Amino acid sequence: MTQRILLIVSGGIAAYKALELVRLLKRKGIAVRAVLTESAKQFVTPLSLGVLTEDHVYGDMFDLKEEREIGHIQLSREADLIVVAPATANILAKMAGGIADDLATTILLATDKPVLVAPAMNVRMWHHKATQRNLAQLREDGIHLMEPAVGAMACNEWGKGRLPEPAEIAAEIERLLADATVAPQPLLTDTTRTINAPDLSQRNLLGRHVLVTAGPTHEPIDPVRYIANRSSGQQGFAIAAAAAQAGARVTLVAGPVALPTPPGVTRIDVETAREMLAAVESALPADVAIMVAAVADWRVADEAEQKIKKDGSGQPAPLALAENPDILATLGHSAQRPGLLIGFAAETETVVDHAIAKRSRKGADWIVANDVSGDVMGGARNTVHLVTAAGVEDWPEMPKQAVAARLIERIADELAGR
Is residue 326 within the footprint of ligand C5P (CB under 6 A)?
yes
Contact 407, 239 (CB under 8 A): yes
Is residue 295 within the footprint of ligand C5P (CB under 6 A)?
yes
Beta bridge partners of 150: 160
Contact 320, 355 (CB under 8 A): no
Binding segment for ligand C5P among 81-89, 325-333, 372-380, 392-400 (CB under 6 A)? 325-333
In degrees, rounded to 5, the angle at the alpha carbon of residue 397 between the alpha carbons of residues 392 and 400 is 100
Member of 328, 387, 404, 407 binding ligand C5P (CB under 6 A): 328
Residues 350-369 that bind ligand C5P (CB under 6 A): 358
- The C-alpha torsion from 22 through 23 and 27 to 33, rounded to 10°, is 30
Member of 244, 327, 340, 405 binding ligand C5P (CB under 6 A): 327
Establish whether 155 is a catalytic residue. Answer: yes
Is residue 84 within the footprint of ligand C5P (CB under 6 A)?
no
As a whole number of angstroms, the distance between CA 99 and CA 109 comes to 8
Is residue 251 within the footprint of ligand C5P (CB under 6 A)?
no
Q: Single out the residue of 116, 98, 131 nearest to residue 21, CA to CA.
A: 116
Binding segment for ligand C5P among 28-36, 157-165, 342-350, 396-404 (CB under 6 A)? 342-350
Binding segment for ligand C5P among 17-25, 136-144, 186-194, 319-327 (CB under 6 A)? 319-327
Is residue 252 within the footprint of ligand C5P (CB under 6 A)?
no
Is residue 105 within the footprint of ligand C5P (CB under 6 A)?
no
Member of 241, 299, 343, 387 binding ligand C5P (CB under 6 A): 343
Helix axis angle, 129-140 to 89-97, nearest 10°: 50
Q: Give whichever of 135 and 273 is closer to ligand C5P, judged by the CB atom.
A: 273
Binding segment for ligand C5P among 11-19, 158-166, 190-198, 339-347 (CB under 6 A)? 339-347
Q: Single out the residue of 339, 345, 150 nearest to residue 235, CA to CA.
A: 345
Is residue 384 within the footprint of ligand C5P (CB under 6 A)?
no
Q: Give whichever of 51 and 322 is closer to ligand C5P, judged by the CB atom.
A: 322
Member of 143, 239, 265, 273 binding ligand C5P (CB under 6 A): 273
Cis, bond preceding 285 (omega within 30 deg of 0): yes
Member of 88, 90, 324, 382 binding ligand C5P (CB under 6 A): 324
Is residue 242 within the footprint of ligand C5P (CB under 6 A)?
no
Member of 57, 344, 376, 402 binding ligand C5P (CB under 6 A): 344
Is residue 161 within the footprint of ligand C5P (CB under 6 A)?
no
Catalytic residue among 155, 167, 224, 322: 155
Binding segment for ligand C5P among 167-175, 198-206, 301-309, 343-351 (CB under 6 A)? 343-351
Q: Give whichever of 242 and 293 is closer to ligand C5P, judged by the CB atom.
A: 293
Is residue 37 within the footprint of ligand C5P (CB under 6 A)?
no
Member of 213, 231, 251, 370 binding ligand C5P (CB under 6 A): 213
In degrees, rounded to 5, the angle at the alpha carbon of residue 137 between the alpha carbons of residues 136 and 141 is 120
Pairing outcome for strands 384-388 and 391-394: antiparallel
* One-letter amino acid of 298: W
Residues serving a catalytic function are 155
The residues of the shown chain that bind ligand C5P, judged by CB under 6 A, are: 213, 273, 291-293, 295, 297, 324, 326-328, 343-345, 358
